[in-house]
């Protein structure tokens, strides 16, 4: 799930990850009207070493957590990625994480709560 902090943190999630430390495409005039569903935003957010470091650490955390949740009888883990407005960074990271989960043989469901706001 992706969301914007300015619209409130979603209730009933298991893990919230803040993406506001990543470079913000909102400040790039030609990228502002786009969303994290657009390849241009995904490429921009993904072009920074900081993003790669975050993805490496976050996927390692999920590698650790997912089997532990399954062992506790949980069939769903809701991860919420937040950025300021919920249109760019959090959406791009949620999409990239969903792709990684599919590569691991899982079937993620992705919801972008604030992408249209």
In a domain, 31, yes or no: yes
What's the chain's length in residues? 117
In a domain? residue 115: no
Confidence of residue 21 (pLDDT cuts 50, 70, 90): very high
| Residue 73 falls in which region: left (phi positive, over 0), alpha (psi -120 to 50) or beta | left
Average pLDDT, the chain: 98
Domain around 31: 2-103
Q: Is 96 helix (H, G, I), strand (E, B) or coil?
A: helix
The mean per-residue pLDDT over the stretch 100-117 comes to 98
- The pTM of the full predicted model, rounded to 2 decimals, is 0.97
User: Domain for residue 116, yes or no?
Assistant: no
**72: DSSP letter:** T
For residue 2, what pLDDT is reported? 99
Is residue 110 assigned to a domain? no
How many distinct structural domains can be found in the chain?
A: 1
Q: Report yes or no on 28 lying in a domain.
A: yes
Instruction: Examine residue 117 and state whether it is found in any structural domain, yes or no.
Output: no
Q: How far apart are CA 97 and CA 54, in angstroms?
A: 11
- pLDDT tens sequence across 40-95: 999 999 999 999 999 999 999 999 999 999 999 999 999 999 999 999 999 999 99
């Amino acid at each position: 799930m992706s969301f914007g902090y300015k619209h409130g943190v979603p209730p009933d999630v298991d893990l919230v990850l803040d993406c506001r430390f990543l470079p913000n495409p909102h400040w790039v005039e030609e990228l502002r009207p786009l969303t994290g569903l657009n390849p241009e935003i995904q490429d921009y957010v993904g072009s920074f070493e900081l993003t790669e470091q975050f993805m490496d650490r976050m996927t390692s955390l999920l590698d650790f957590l997912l089997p532990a949740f399954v062992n506790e009888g949980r069939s769903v883990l809701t991860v919420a990625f937040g950025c300021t407005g919920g249109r760019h960074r959090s959406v791009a990271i949620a999409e990239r994480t969903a792709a990684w989960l599919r590569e691991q043989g899982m079937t993620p469901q992705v919801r972008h709560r604030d992408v249209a706001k």
